Amino acid sequence: MDSLSPEVVEPLLTGRFGRPYVYAEQCESTQTLLDRSGPEGSVAVADEQTGGRGRLGRAWEAPAGTSILCSVLLRPPPGPDLAQLSLVGGLAAAETVEEELGLWRSSQIKWPNDVMINRRKVAGVLAEAREGIVALGTGINVNQTRDQLPRDARQPVASLRTTDGREHDRAVLLADLLARLERFYTAWLEGGLDAVFGDLGSRDFLRGRRITVDGVEGVAEGIDREGRLLVAGRAIDSGEVGYER
């Protein structure tokens, strides 16, 4: 198994995200392992979570040592809608996985937090805010075999390994994810969602699909400049999206 220990990951870091770097072989959730009193860019990483959290109270599961399970501490200034940070995190994860696969512009964001490759979910992002401090958690399915992936009745899932048949170095991927997240987050700090709006629009998985969300049914029209999903003349803040496959 490859290692995500500090000795392996820290030399690969290129920016301020990942410092300090806290690693646990096992923890309940990296969202709670993260030290909320640390500086912006502090990171918590684990090889295994016993109570990994997904959006809407769901579980996030992966066998030990197969995936990236990482949380980053953000201290955004008051004002902007912090839900936008799951889109910012999604963009970083989307670029990371497609670069690793060598498939330029192949990944998409399924609003609000899923990263899709070939219409399968490979990563998810969870932004949990308390008192203005955000724990931005990212889970990327990396080296799971098909049998090790969770059966998700809501949508098909994949790992990088089931996508290209190769095993991937998680430390390299993690360092790349942190560098990209720092870049997207800095752009968002300076220019709001407008700064990443083009990227989001070109990666919008739902646009043009018939969906249901929050009791509304219709064709998804895109993501607006506040990060809301547009459907049937409504702007949706959050919810569970069902879509036609």
Among the candidate windows 118-126, 145-153, 157-165, 166-174, which touches ligand BTN by CB under 6 A?
118-126
Q: Is 41 in the site for ligand BTN (CB under 6 A)?
A: no
Q: Is 70 in the site for ligand BTN (CB under 6 A)?
A: yes
Nearer to ligand BTN, 1 or 232 (CB): 1
Q: Is 69 in the site for ligand BTN (CB under 6 A)?
A: yes
Tell me how far, at minimum, the Cβ of 56 lies from ligand BTN, in Å: 7
Nearer to ligand BTN, 98 or 114 (CB): 114
* Bridge partner residues of 43 (DSSP): 21, 72
Q: 113 with 124: CB under 8 angstroms?
A: yes
Tell me how far, at minimum, the Cβ of 137 lies from ligand BTN, in Å: 3
Q: Contacting ligand BTN (CB under 6 A), which of 42, 96, 108, 113?
A: 113
Amino acid at 93: A
Tell me how far, at minimum, the Cβ of 243 lies from ligand BTN, in Å: 15
Tell me how far, at minimum, the Cβ of 31 lies from ligand BTN, in Å: 4
Q: Could you give the count of Cα atoms lying within 13 Å of 166 in the half-sphere of its Cβ?
A: 7
DSSP 2-24: ---SHHHHGGG--SSTTSSEEEE
> How many residues make contact with ligand BTN (CB under 6 A)?
21
- Tell me which residue of 157, 142, 152, 125 sits closest to 53, measured CA to CA: 125
Nearer to ligand BTN, 62 or 195 (CB): 62
DSSP 181-237: HHHHHHHHHHHGGGGGHHHHHHTBSSTTSEEEETTEEEEEEEE-TTSPEEETTEEE-
Q: 90 with 109: CB under 8 angstroms?
A: yes
Distance between CA 72 and CA 139 in Å, rounded? 12
Tell me how far, at minimum, the Cβ of 228 lies from ligand BTN, in Å: 18
Instruction: List the interface residues with ligand BTN, window 124-153 (CB under 6 A).
Output: 124-126, 137-139
What is the contact mask toward ligand BTN in residues 46 to 65, using x (rule: CB under 6 A)? ---x--xxxx--x-x-----
Among the candidate windows 11-19, 67-75, 87-95, 206-214, which touches ligand BTN by CB under 6 A?
67-75
Tell me how far, at minimum, the Cβ of 38 lies from ligand BTN, in Å: 16
Distance between CA 9 and CA 197 in Å, rounded? 31
Distance between CA 139 and CA 54 in Å, rounded? 9
Give the number of other CB atoms < 10 A from CB of residue 116.
24
Q: Is 107 in the site for ligand BTN (CB under 6 A)?
A: no
Using a 10 angstrom Cβ sphere, with 0-12 exposed, 13-18 middle and 19 or more buried, the burial of residue 6 is middle
Positions in the binding site for ligand BTN (CB under 6 A): 29-31, 49, 52-55, 58, 60, 69-71, 113-114, 124-126, 137-139
